[in-house]
Amino acid sequence: MRIFIDTTCLNYTFSGIQNFTINLIKEFKNLGEEVKEIKKPFFNFLFEKGDIYLGPDGRVPFIKKVKIISTIIHDVCFETNPETFPEKAVKIARKKVKKALLKSDIIFTPSNFTKKMIEKFYGIKNKVYTIYPGVNFPDTLKQVENLPEKFFLFVGTVQKRKNCLNLVKAFKELNLRNICLLLAGEEGFGAEEVKKEISRNIIWLKRYFSQEEIFYLYKKAIALVFPSLCEGFGLPVLEAMASMTPVIASSLQVFKEYAKDKIFYLTGFDIKDIKEGIIKFLDESEEEIKKKVKEAKKIADGFSWKKTALNTLKVWKETI
């Protein structure tokens, strides 16, 4: 098949959507499919023919030049948690998703949870398919310099939706001796509030990280702490599981969908809940932590980008 893929989202830095798109393109090519990247919005799409269009970030073309138009809706957190986004961003996202749902022949979501949310907010389910993302542990790791000896890790854009402010405040109040909190990710909406709370035992590495660096951080961390308010999937959780790094995460339905009971869950989203979750983890027996980590790794081993690509192709071929 000849597949057009809108690669506008590759301009984003350090995002799950970017990661998803890069790996899908790589696996499609490995499987022998012809991939044409649309680098300028739909320009070369106007003058060439193909079988499939894929908008990895909900973007759809204004004309149909292919047999199937498909998009990926990664989450609808702007509907479930609109207070964690700028008001203008919520309006833009709603308009974009409504257009994508209307014009797409096939819609992919990264989880059954997101699929259910699309049905809840937009009433559409008959053309929505869950295609889980993958995880590939890099062949080599790249060292990140000047790390503290012991640290809990947060990976992702520092923004309201990720509940970073409460995480930082909780860690400040814990004031753990010789243990730091490391934030690895760039600034998003609400980052200014987080900046004001940064203290001696909190380090924020504000930059883009390669996969080789991110997995190095997972391997060095005591645990990933991910108290997010909403996720469409939550790739850092799966990546940490693949790295055999313990995970302390908010009790979201989407995490339970794939991580089951093999990670440590917070009881809520508040500062108190995060503090209690970290203390409980530190009090946990080494045997119980190792058991969960081992079982979580088995789950993560079942996710691969090749499987993601094959499942995507299967839906397209059955539809054509």
Same domain, 287 and 315: no
Q: What are phi and psi of 181, to 5 degrees?
A: -110, 125
Please give the pLDDT value at position 79. Answer: 97
Domain contains 141: no
| Contacts with 319 (C-beta within 8 Å, 6 or more apart), sequence order | 68, 105, 106
pLDDT, tens digit (0-9, with 9 covering 90-100), for 168-188: 999 999 999 899 999 999 999
260 CB neighbour count, 10 Å cutoff: 11
Q: Is the pLDDT of residue 46 over 80?
A: no
Q: pLDDT at position 13, please?
A: 60
Q: Is residue 228 located within the same domain as residue 173?
A: yes
Q: State the total domains in the chain.
A: 2
| Domain enclosing residue 261, as ranges | 151-300
pLDDT band at 294 (very low <50, low <70, confident <90, very high): very high
SS3 253: helix
- The helix/strand/coil state of 66 is coil
Is the same domain home to 293 and 166?
Answer: yes
In a domain, 248, yes or no: yes
If asked whether residues 11 and 95 sit together in one domain, one would say yes
Looking at the fold, whether 122 and 241 belong to one and the same domain comes out as no
Specify the long-range contacts of residues 11-14, CB closer than 8 Å, at least 24 apart. Answer: 13/186, 13/208, 14/156, 14/157, 14/185, 14/186, 14/208, 14/209
Note whether residue 249 is domain-resident.
yes
In a shared domain, residues 163 and 285:
yes
Nearest to 181, CA basis, from 196, 162, 167? 167
d(CA 157, CA 141): 21
SS percent in the chain: helix, strand, coil, step 5: 45, 15, 40
Question: How long a stretch of residues is the chain?
Answer: 320
Query: Do residues 80 and 26 share a domain?
Result: yes
For a pLDDT cut of 90, what percent of the chain falls above it? 83
C-alpha 78/C-alpha 161 separation (Å) is 9
Residue pair 157/185 in contact by the 8 Å Cβ criterion: yes
Residue 95, pLDDT > 90, answer yes
User: How much is the pLDDT for 214?
Assistant: 95
Residue range 271-283: mean pLDDT, rounded: 98
Q: Cα–Cα distance between 38 and 26 in angstroms, integer?
A: 15
Residue 121 lies in a domain: yes
- Contact status, residue 205 vs residue 134, Cβ threshold 8 Å: no
The answer to whether residue 314 scores a pLDDT higher than 90 is yes
Which pLDDT band, with edges at 50, 70 and 90, does 43 fall under? low
For residues 105 and 242, membership in a common domain is answered with no
Residues whose CB is less than 8 angstroms from the CB of residue 222 and which lie 6 or more positions away in sequence, other chains included = 150, 151, 152, 153, 179, 246
Predicted pLDDT of residue 42: 63
- Considering the domain architecture, whether residues 312 and 195 belong to the same structural domain is answered as no
Task: Tell me whether residue 293 is in a domain.
Answer: yes
Pairing state between β 2-6 and 52-55 = parallel
CA distance 217 to 152: 10
Do residues 313 and 285 both lie within one domain? no
Q: What are phi and psi of 50, to 5 degrees?
A: -160, 180
Same domain, yes or no, for 273 and 162? yes
CATH code of the domain containing 31: 3.40.50.2000
Residue 145 domain-assigned (yes or no): no
pLDDT at 117 over 80: yes
3-state secondary structure 196-215: HHCCCCEEEECCCCCHHHHH
* Predicted confidence (pLDDT) per residue in 201-218, tens digit: 999 998 888 899 999 999
Same-domain status, 315 and 267: no
- Contact yes or no for 41/56 (Cβ under 8 A): no
* Range of weakest confidence among 39-43, 153-157, 234-238, 294-298: 39-43
d(CA 102, CA 98): 6
pTM: 0.94
Q: State the average pLDDT for the chain.
A: 93
Find the mean pLDDT for residues 226-242. Answer: 97
257 within a domain of the structure (yes/no): yes
Is 143 a member of any domain?
no
Average pLDDT over residues 23-28: 95
- Reported as a pLDDT band with limits 50, 70 and 90, residue 47 is low
